[in-house]
């Protein structure tokens, strides 16, 4: 009896931070329901741009010197989402990478947004479902997580902005490239990337969902040496999503199901030592770091709406008008953007419904301009500070 109680107490004490976390997440289900959502914006102005040209953009990266952003967008995500587990059997259109010239705010859609051509890419454009991308400026290397129908891969390209082409160099093959989501390049020969789940949704949707909702630390952060292609798992996290280099010594990884940002010290051996966890009042998607070293965080304040929107997109973007007018298509999933520094802590920048399903926020500090992408949204949101 005594032993049982002791074991029970130990289990309970182990579980209580866990239960606290779950309760925090559940609370957002009520507090942030679209009808009750507290909407705010700290931006001087913002606008949804290129709604007729871009859809379902997940990632965005800046090349501030050139005044360009690289966008990863996948219209196929309506019918093919290997993270959230939506699979339709019909033919799924491919996604694409785009270059957005934000140097001039008032350029026309055609002049501002251009599609990149993939050259030497084995499957051509036919099985391309880009998610996380990373650009290593010194060598113009572009890393792309591709959720291809034949299996998820990390593809390495050489980017030429002047000719608008990404030339395929090679596919990174390794058993640890399992459920890749986001990539952070450390040097020209080293990357970290996240595997968002232990159970790939494409193999077992139910187990992947259980892993998400129970916040089981089944996801991983993997370090890869690109000279030898040796890889090792350096951290286990529940649903790790975004990954970004905060400064020379610190790597930030977001957990969508926890929800928080994990800060790690990178050791000389490329292992990770946990420094701290930053709590965020939203389910976090992706991270980025601006030129002033501020961490930008984008997320989903209301998970149930995101799940509904994600599941209904194929219907709501259907060719049949009667399907597009379905009741479920009126549901919108709110967006949230915040920033964090050690000195100032967390500051919330935006929460609202004018732009839905925010997943990445980036900022050009000199121009005072920021971009938010939306996982299931038309266009991108551009803000001025």
- Chain residues binding ligand NAG by CB under 6 A are 58-59, 61, 131-134, 181-184, 242, 244, 246-250, 263, 286-288, 342, 360
Pull the structure tokens for residue 210. Answer: 């259980």
Of the two residues 211 and 290, which places its CB atom closer to ligand NAG in the complex?
290
Residues in the chain: 385
Of the two residues 37 and 196, which places its CB atom closer to ligand NAG in the complex?
196
Report the nearest approach of ligand NAG to the CB of residue 79 (Å): 19
Report the nearest approach of ligand NAG to the CB of residue 155 (Å): 12
The string of DSSP letters for 76-140 reads GGGTEETTTTEE-SS-----EEEEEE-SSTT--HHHHEEEPEEES-TTTTTT--EEEEEEEGGGT
Of the two residues 50 and 340, which places its CB atom closer to ligand NAG in the complex?
340
Of the two residues 134 and 155, which places its CB atom closer to ligand NAG in the complex?
134
CA angle 265, 269, 273 (to 5 degrees): 25
Q: Chain centroid to CA 144: how far? A: 12
Report the nearest approach of ligand NAG to the CB of residue 89 (Å): 25
CA-nearest of 373, 376, 385, 339 to 70 is 373
Pull the structure tokens for residue 328. Answer: 């479920």
Contacts for 19 with CB less than 8 Å, ≥ 6 apart: none
CA-nearest of 357, 361, 352, 355 to 385 is 361
From residue 192, give the alpha-carbon distance in Å to each of 66, 285, 309, 354.
26, 17, 30, 34
Q: Which residue is nearest to ligand NAG (CB)?
A: 132
Report the nearest approach of ligand NAG to the CB of residue 14 (Å): 28
Report the nearest approach of ligand NAG to the CB of residue 169 (Å): 17
Report the nearest approach of ligand NAG to the CB of residue 248 (Å): 5
CA-nearest of 62, 163, 169, 180 to 129 is 180
Of the two residues 92 and 133, which places its CB atom closer to ligand NAG in the complex?
133
Of the two residues 106 and 248, which places its CB atom closer to ligand NAG in the complex?
248
């Amino acid at each position: 009896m005594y032993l049982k109680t002791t074991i029970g107490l130990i289990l309970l004490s182990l579980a209580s931070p866990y239960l606290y976390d779950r309760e925090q997440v559940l609370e957002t289900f009520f507090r942030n329901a679209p009808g009750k959502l507290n909407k705010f914006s700290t931006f001087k102005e913002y606008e949804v741009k290129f709604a007729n040209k871009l859809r379902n953009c997940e990632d965005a990266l800046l090349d501030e010197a050139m005044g360009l952003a690289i966008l990863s967008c996948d219209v196929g995500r309506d019918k093919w989402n290997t993270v959230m587990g939506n699979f339709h059997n019909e033919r799924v259109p491919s996604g694409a990478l785009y270059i957005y010239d934000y140097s001039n705010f008032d350029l026309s859609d055609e002049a501002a947004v251009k599609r990149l051509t993939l050259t030497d890419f084995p499957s051509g454009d036919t099985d391309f479902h880009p998610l996380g991308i990373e650009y290593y400026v010194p060598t113009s290397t572009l890393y792309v997580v591709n959720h291809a129908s034949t299996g998820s891969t990390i593809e390495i390209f050489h980017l030429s902005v002047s000719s608008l082409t990404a030339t395929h160099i090679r596919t990174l093959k390794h058993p640890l490239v399992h459920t890749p989501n986001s990539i952070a390049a450390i040097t020209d020969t080293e990357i970290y990337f996240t595997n968002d789940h232990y159970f790939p949704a494409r193999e077992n949707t139910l187990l992947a969902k259980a892993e998400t909702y129970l916040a089981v630390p089944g996801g991983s952060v993997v370090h890869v040496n690109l000279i030898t292609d040796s890889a090792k798992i350096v951290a286990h996290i529940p649903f790790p999503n975004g990954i970004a280099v905060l400064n020379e010594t610190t790597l930030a990884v977001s957990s969508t199901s926890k929800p928080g940002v994990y800060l790690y010290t990178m050791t000389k051996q490329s292992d990770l030592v946990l420094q701290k966890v930053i709590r965020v009042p939203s389910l976090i998607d992706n991270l980025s770091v601006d030129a002033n070293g501020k961490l930008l965080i984008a997320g989903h304040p209301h998970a149930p709406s995101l799940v509904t929107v994600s599941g209904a997109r194929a219907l709501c973007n259907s060719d049949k008008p009667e399907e597009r007018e379905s009741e479920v298509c009126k549901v919108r999933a709110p967006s949230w953007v915040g920033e964090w520094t050690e000195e100032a802590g967390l500051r919330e920048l935006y929460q609202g419904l004018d732009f839905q399903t925010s997943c990445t926020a980036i900022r050009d500090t000199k121009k005072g301009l920021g971009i938010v992408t939306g996982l299931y949204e038309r266009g991108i949101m551009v803000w001025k500070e």
